[in-house]
Structure 1
Amino acid sequence: MLVLMNCLFAPSFLLAQDKQKATPEERAASLTDWMKSKLQLTAEQEPKVKEINLKYAQNNEALKTAPGSKREKMKTLKADEASRDSELKAILTPEQYKIYQDSKAELKQKIKEKRKG
């Protein structure tokens, strides 16, 4: 039974580890693919969104090793998130932006619930 459980859960554990080790480029590409599918990005929007995602993925990576307190880093993350949203809002249609905001809110709620549980 233990061997069976290891066979079932090992792939998902390895995938989770791979995501943590993903480069900013890989994370940006993955997020862009998700946005392309979920928001039905146009051929014109996709490279712009990818550029924004890469910019902020690189910023987040640099922030990991930057000096400063956790509080300061969280302030920077929130400011970056607001800037990113502003840049995306200029590219996305109002409908796409609403779907993006709704999905983001849903994800935040899931994370809160996971922390409580």
Structure 2
Amino acid sequence: MKNIILMSLMFVLVGCSKNQNPVDQASGKKYCESLDSLSTSAMTARQKGVALIEVLKMADTVEGAEDQKKYVQIIIKQAFAETRYSSPEYQAKAITDFRNKIYLDCINKYV
């Protein structure tokens, strides 16, 4: 299960690294959607017990601009700073709450 989560996170990271900082509303929305996917994958990894070092190592292997890599790492670290829950209901709520926070921050800034 952890390998599946790490593989899905890798695909999301690749997508995020290709998106440049948005210059208009349409590209801003697309950028925020990629961050929504990243935040969902990062928090899912957190809730499923994947080790932070594994996720950060994976993020380091993705090509992209250094500022984008740092932002990806910030989101991952924010996810891992959140509480890990044992109940599937609380895990789902934590994932939804986290992704909503990241998406809202992004659309307030770029859309």
The normalised TM-score by structure 2 is 0.33
Q: 1 or 2, which has the higher helix percentage?
A: 1
Structure of higher RCO (CA pairs closer than 8 Å, 6+ residues apart):
2
Q: TM-score, normalised by structure 1?
A: 0.32
